[in-house]
């Protein structure tokens, strides 16, 4: 009988191991409201691409208001997502009283996960910065200091070479470039097109792939890789055997919406579908929880009467700012049903930790 229970125990344990996702892969569309998402699906269809988001389900209706405003910004929204707390506008990894709060990435790092972040915005933009910095979004000096101090990131891909002391003409780092400090901190450093700037270990790297933000996909400069090519290159450099928390930001959707640039937005939304398609093929869905979400909506985008499958879907903007609306939160793969039907962005961290059966000691946030 004892033996039976021992076998049963091993069997149940094995089932539990399988039940838990090995990888958490998050793809975030900055500023991507439900109408942006619909537009991306329609554009994929018209362009004979796979509608990659169709394999996802709407897991939850998600609110995103801050402590001080019904309309959030990328700083407060990303802080809610990463750190599990509602904060004030402009706050990165700090609560309303400016006390630093812990990103889920640091908790997962301690649990043995590899941590990676890829964005097509500058390294200091609010979304990537919320993962590693404890600062106000305009305090670029502190954000850079926090990036230099960061030790939990295994790989980090972003733009912003010019702010990192790289000559925009020669593309070579100046003698005072902060890239040196990042290198001394144990990171191999790559520049535009992934050419090595400072040598280091192959499994711990930072790549800065554009001078500022990456160009909109319809405005790539000669020789500039697409965002998908950057992501493919990054994936080729990481060991997929190890548990991974990967956060990919499609940050230019927000920027195109702020300037109401229809062509740039459509190009970014087509790229979004291509990235989702690629990423969901790289990782097996049996042991990967995929999440697609948006931090907020930008532009008050409406889709107007257009013939079905028209090349030219008519859109209207309502504002050049963010708006208050429920944001998409879609899941696919392992543990996709583990979220409540209604939540706030700040609840995601808690549910992720529950899915992964990670308990954080009391008093630690």
Chain positions contacting Zn ion, by CB under 5 A: 254
Nearest to Zn ion of 154, 254 (CB atom): 254
Minimum separation from the CB atom of position 255 to Zn ion (A):
7
In this structure, what token pair is assigned to residue 59? 């897991």
Nearest to Zn ion of 154, 268 (CB atom): 268
Nearest to Zn ion of 30, 154 (CB atom): 30
Nearest to Zn ion of 249, 254 (CB atom): 254
Q: How far is CA 180 from CA 124, 177, 201, in A?
A: 17, 6, 15
Minimum separation from the CB atom of position 150 to Zn ion (A):
24
Residue corresponding to tokens 């190890």? 242
Nearest to Zn ion of 69, 310 (CB atom): 69
Minimum separation from the CB atom of position 298 to Zn ion (A):
5
Nearest to Zn ion of 29, 200 (CB atom): 29
Nearest to Zn ion of 131, 206 (CB atom): 131
Query: Where in the chain does DSSP place strands (E)?
Result: 23-29, 57-58, 61-63, 91-92, 114-122, 135-136, 155-159, 188-190, 196-198, 205-208, 244-250, 288-293, 297-298, 302-303, 315-316, 322-323, 329-333, 342-344
Of the candidates 178, 177, 240, 166, the one whose C-alpha atom is nearest the C-alpha of residue 209 is: 166
Residue corresponding to tokens 């009391």? 362
Show Cβ contacts of residue 16 under 8 Å, excluding neighbours closer than 6 positions: none
Minimum separation from the CB atom of position 363 to Zn ion (A):
34
24 DSSP β-pair partners: 245, 289
Tell me phi and psi for residue 134, to 5 degrees: -130, 90
Minimum separation from the CB atom of position 299 to Zn ion (A):
9
Beta strand 135-136 pairing with 91-92: antiparallel
Minimum separation from the CB atom of position 31 to Zn ion (A):
5
| Nearest residue (beta carbon) to Zn ion | 254
Minimum separation from the CB atom of position 258 to Zn ion (A):
6
């Amino acid at each position: 009988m004892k033996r039976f229970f021992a076998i049963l125990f091993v069997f149940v344990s094995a089932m539990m191991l399988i039940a838990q996702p090995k990888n958490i892969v998050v793809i975030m569309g900055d500023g991507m409201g439900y109408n942006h998402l619909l537009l991306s699906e329609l554009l994929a269809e018209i362009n004979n691409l796979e509608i990659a988001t169709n394999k996802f389900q709407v897991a939850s209706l998600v609110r995103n208001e801050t402590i001080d405003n019904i309309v959030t910004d990328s700083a407060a929204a990303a802080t809610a997502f990463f750190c599990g707390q509602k904060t004030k506008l402009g706050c990165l990894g700090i609560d309303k009283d400016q006390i630093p709060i812990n990103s889920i990435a640091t908790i997962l790092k301690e649990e043995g996960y590899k941590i990676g972040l890829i964005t097509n915005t500058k390294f200091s933009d609010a979304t990537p910065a919320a993962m590693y910095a404890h600062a106000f979004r305009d305090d670029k000096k502190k954000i850079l200091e926090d990036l230099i101090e960061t030790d939990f990131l295994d790989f980090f891909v972003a733009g912003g070479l010019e702010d990192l002391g790289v000559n925009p003409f020669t593309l070579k780092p100046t003698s005072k470039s902060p890239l040196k400090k990042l290198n001394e901190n144990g990171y191999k450093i790559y520049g535009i097109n992934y050419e090595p700037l400072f040598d280091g270990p192959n499994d711990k790297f930072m790549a800065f792939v554009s001078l500022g933000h990456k160009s909109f996909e319809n405005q790539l400069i000669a020789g500039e890789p697409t965002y998908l090519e950057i992501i493919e290159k990054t994936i080729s450099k990481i060991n997929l055997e190890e548990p991974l928390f990967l956060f990919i930001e499609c940050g230019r959707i927000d920027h195109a919406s702020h300037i109401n640039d229809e062509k740039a937005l459509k190009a970014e939304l087509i790229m979004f579908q291509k990235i989702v398609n690629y990423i969901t093929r790289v990782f097996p869905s049996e042991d990967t929880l995929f999440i697609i979400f948006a931090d907020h909506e930008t532009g008050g985008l409406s889709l107007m009467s257009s013939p079905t499958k028209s090349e030219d879907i008519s859109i209207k903007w309502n504002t050049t700012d963010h708006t208050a609306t429920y944001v998409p939160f879609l899941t696919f793969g392992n543990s996709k049903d583990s979220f409540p039907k209604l939540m706030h962005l700040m609840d995601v961290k808690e549910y992720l930790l529950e899915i992964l059966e990670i308990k954080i000691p009391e008093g630690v946030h």
